[in-house]
Amino acid sequence: MVIGGGSAGLAAAVALSRSRRTVLVIDEGNPRNAKALHAHNVLGQEGTNPLDLLERGRQEARHYGARIIAGKVDVLSGSLDAGFTVTIAERSYTAERIVLATGLIDNLPPIPGLAQAWGESAIHCAYCHGWEVRDQELLVLGIGAMSSHQAMMFSQLSSKITFINHDSSALTQENRATLEALGIPVLEQSVKAVEFNDQGTLTSVLLTDNQRLNAQTLVVATQMQAQAALYESLGGSLTENPLGTFISVNEMGATDVAGIYAAGNVCNLGAMVMAAAASGTIAGAAINADLISSQLATK
């Protein structure tokens, strides 16, 4: 059973279905990049709409026999020995192995208007959106360890960057030296609101001194939180790094809870679409090998 049908979960489903395993994917249908119009750095599918990409993935998984149902899994119970059970819409499904491919939540700083801009004019990743905003005026919201790193990455794409030191405690002397070396000015202000025109296009940010800065694009780091409640409910614990919390896995996608594998953003906060899909393929292949070994052991 694969819980989550984004790039990671669908890739796991394809690998398992092609190995003639019986596969059920349960997907709530809210992939992290749903608001983006194009997915970039996706080899062979460059610039495809993220939702179209997943529709193709679903067709490929179904082609090999995977079943995909819509819904959110709230409770996952069981163990490797007893088998795992999920109940959804009053129907129970059991599985010998689970792939958790539930992705992550991007927690934004609580600035009015920011959530509306997120994924379109408020962006986080130079590889996902950088080319599209090349040479534009970019405002980087300084809120944590990632922000000066983002300024550094986007400096390869535009020379017109301003760093707004929104959370001044987050910027170390070393960060300041990096920004200075890159010629990026630091504005000692906080952002009160993100503002739009009547068409919903980002126009400006309002600072605490009531100054307005024109803006087409705001670069913002999120605090990333793996959607891992199901894992924790089985006794799994999460790992933390400066980007956020996630499930630790070995190189084959196995977690510390026997029988539970994980793939994609739930276990790798930095994974882009191709890396998420690759980890899904690996987890699917690992489960297939694991099942062959356990079938042999019972002979």
Ligand X SMILES: Cc1cc2nc3c(=O)[nH]c(=O)nc-3n(C[C@H](O)[C@H](O)[C@H](O)COP(=O)(O)OP(=O)(O)OC[C@H]3O[C@@H](n4cnc5c(N)ncnc54)[C@H](O)[C@@H]3O)c2cc1C
**Residue numbers at the binding site for ligand X (CB under 6 A):** 3-9, 26-33, 35-36, 39-42, 72-73, 101-103, 106, 119, 128, 227, 264-265, 271-274, 276
b/e map of 96-108 (b: 16 or more CB within 10 Å)? Answer: bbbbbbbbbbbeb
Residue 274 beta carbon to ligand X: minimum distance, rounded to whole angstroms: 6
Residue 212 beta carbon to ligand X: minimum distance, rounded to whole angstroms: 25
Smaller CB distance to ligand X: residue 117 or 207? Answer: 117
Residue 259 beta carbon to ligand X: minimum distance, rounded to whole angstroms: 17
What is the torsional sign of CA 62, 269, 161, 157?
negative
What size, in residues, is the chain? 299
Smaller CB distance to ligand X: residue 187 or 282? Answer: 282
Residue 38 beta carbon to ligand X: minimum distance, rounded to whole angstroms: 6
For the CA atoms of the chain, what is the radius of gyration?
21
Tell me the C-alpha to C-alpha distance, in Å, between residue 37 and each of 72, 128, 153, 197.
24, 11, 22, 20
Smaller CB distance to ligand X: residue 175 or 222? Answer: 222
9, amino acid identity: G
Residue 83 beta carbon to ligand X: minimum distance, rounded to whole angstroms: 19
Residue 260 beta carbon to ligand X: minimum distance, rounded to whole angstroms: 14
Smaller CB distance to ligand X: residue 119 or 142? Answer: 119
Cα separation, 76 vs 101, whole angstroms: 14
Smaller CB distance to ligand X: residue 190 or 259? Answer: 259
Q: Quick one: CA torsion of 148, 150, 152, 156, rounded to 10 degrees?
A: -160
Smaller CB distance to ligand X: residue 53 or 207? Answer: 53
Vertex 103 angle, CA 102 and 106, to 5°: 135
Residues forming beta bridges with residue 120, ordered by sequence position: none
